[in-house]
Homo-oligomer: A and B are copies of this chain.
Amino acid sequence: MELSKTSYVILGMLRTRTHTGYEIKSIVDHSTRFFWAASYGQIYPELKRLEEAGLVKGEAEAQGARQRRSFSLTPEGRRELEDWISSGEPLRFELRHEGLLRFFFADVVDPAEQLELVRDMREMHERTRTEMEAIRPHAEEARAERGQEFPLKTLEFGIAYQEFMADWCSRMEREIHKETGD
């Protein structure tokens, strides 16, 4: 069975304990979504496929009349996850940035609009940074209670990344302002 990146997100989320599809979605939304998102439309069908492939095991945990299936990693699933992290396969990355795309073509508009664009970009990155700061307690808890170092390191990277982007925007604001001004 061919595993997609999203399959690995799911396997990874089950590395410490069992979770429902719903829980996986909300953990993703508080962690990996900044560099790898996943929707219900991917998670539920993928959980089914992973179960068929013997990499996860679902167990009914109904609470009263509410249906609920918790999934756990099988030994094969864990091996698959570890192999993927250790595999030397090329690491792809992709940035899709609408602001940068507009910026690239910004010679066709005048400085006032150029300035507005970079200002909007900076604000967006500052907002995302704030959003990430709000998540920090989660990552600190994961470290304190489950000994996980990497979610926090990853979050700290994310914050530094947003800062880097916002700083670059500030620099561009100054550069453009110089031309507009005197």
Contact = CB atoms under 8 A, between A and B. Distances in A.
B99 A91 contact: yes
Interface of A: 5, 8-9, 12, 15, 31-32, 34-37, 78, 81-82, 84-86, 88, 90-109, 113, 116-117, 120-121, 124, 147-151, 153-154, 157, 160-161, 164, 168, 172, 175
B99 A93 contact: yes
B12 A105 contact: yes
A35 B113 contact: no
Given A36-B100, A85-B113, 19 more contacts: A8-B101, A15-B105, A15-B108, A35-B95, A36-B101, A85-B108, A86-B109, A86-B116, A88-B120, A93-B97, A93-B124, A94-B94, A95-B95, A100-B154, A103-B154, A104-B150, A107-B148, A107-B149, A107-B150
A160 B98 CA distance: 18
A121 B34 contact: no
Contact of A93 (B36, B85, B96): B96
Contacts of A154: 100, 103-104
Nearest to A112: B86
26 contacts: A12-B101, A15-B108, A32-B101, A34-B95, A36-B98, A36-B101, A81-B108, A82-B108, A82-B109, A84-B102, A85-B102, A85-B109, A85-B113, A86-B117, A88-B120, A90-B124, A91-B124, A92-B98, A93-B95, A93-B124, A94-B97, A95-B95, A100-B157, A106-B150, A153-B175, A161-B164
